[in-house]
Structure formats: structure tokens, C-alpha cells
């Protein structure tokens, strides 16, 4: 399964990882080059990993919901709380100087992406149900 996820999402992981690592490097540079490089490497690894693995996680969260509201809450709240916890926790362990500013762009995109995913998945579910009823 991991191989399939990597094959499908590695490009977005590389792009996102590079962009967010650059942001982390720039924003943490005042704390010193070594801390800034650690923050950038940490953010790259996290962004890449989240892009690859959260595609399966977000689908699972959607699938376990029993209603439109529970699916929405699972996808938007569940995904973003998990991402926030991972990002803050790992950056804290790694000694990142400006954690919240470092992860802010990643979290904004995660929020927007989870909302977009929910509406796309909900539409696909309705279309499938309509096809089943029609045919």
C-alpha cells in the first residue's frame, strides 16, 4: 500500500516539501543556520510524509462517517488535528525556534485541502448513489 501511495503522491510531496522547507529555512534563519537547517529538513520530511500518507487517511476518515456531518467533521477536524499534533510535536522535539509560523502555511493548505476533499468525495458518493438508483 505504501508503494502505491508513494507512486501516486510523491510529486506533490516533493513540491510541498520543498516549498514548506524553504519557508521553514527562511523563517527560522534568525535562530541560527544550524537550527534553521534542522527546521527545514524536519518540515520537508513532515510535508512529504503527510502528503503521501494523508491521502489514504483522509479517505478512511470519510468512509467511516455515517452521515454527511460526521464525514465532514472526520475529514476536516480529524485530519487537521492529527496534522497539527504531528507537526507541532515533531518540530518541538527537533528544537524548531518558531513552530507556529513554520507550520502555518502547511496548516492553511491542509485545511483548504481537507474541505475541498470532503466536497469532492461527497459529490462522487452522490453520483455513485444516483447511478445505482438509475441502473
Give the per-residue pLDDT at 135: 59
Q: What pLDDT, in 10s, does the model give residues 11-28?
A: 888 998 999 999 999 999
Residue 90 CA to residue 121 CA, distance in Å, equals: 30
Q: What pLDDT, in 10s, does the model give residues 113-122?
A: 999 999 999 9
pLDDT higher at 4 or 68:
68
Nearest by Cα to 36 from 106, 89, 95, 93: 95
Overall pTM surpassing 0.75 (yes/no): yes
Q: What pLDDT, in 10s, does the model give residues 90-103?
A: 999 999 999 999 99
Q: Residue 2: which pLDDT band, with cuts at 50, 70 and 90?
A: low
Domain ranges of the chain: 2-134
Amino acid at each position: 500500500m505504501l508503494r502505491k501511495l508513494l507512486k501516486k503522491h510523491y510529486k506533490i510531496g516533493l513540491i510541498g516539501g520543498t516549498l514548506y522547507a524553504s519557508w521553514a529555512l527562511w523563517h527560522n534563519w534568525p535562530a541560527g543556520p544550524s537550527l534553521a537547517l534542522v527546521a527545514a529538513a524536519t518540515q520537508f520530511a513532515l510535508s512529504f510524509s503527510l502528503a503521501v500518507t494523508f491521502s489514504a487517511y483522509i479517505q478512511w476518515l470519510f468512509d467511516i462517517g455515517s452521515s454527511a456531518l460526521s464525514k465532514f467533521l472526520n475529514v476536516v477536524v480529524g485530519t487537521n488535528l492529527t496534522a497539527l499534533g504531528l507537526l507541532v510535536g515533531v518540530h518541538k522535539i527537533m528544537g524548531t525556534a518558531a513552530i507556529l509560523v513554520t507550520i502555518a502555511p502547511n496548516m492553511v493548505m491542509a485545511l483548504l485541502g481537507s474541505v475541498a476533499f470532503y466536497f469532492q468525495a461527497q459529490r462522487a458518493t452522490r453520483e455513485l448513489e444516483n447511478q445505482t438508483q438509475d441502473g
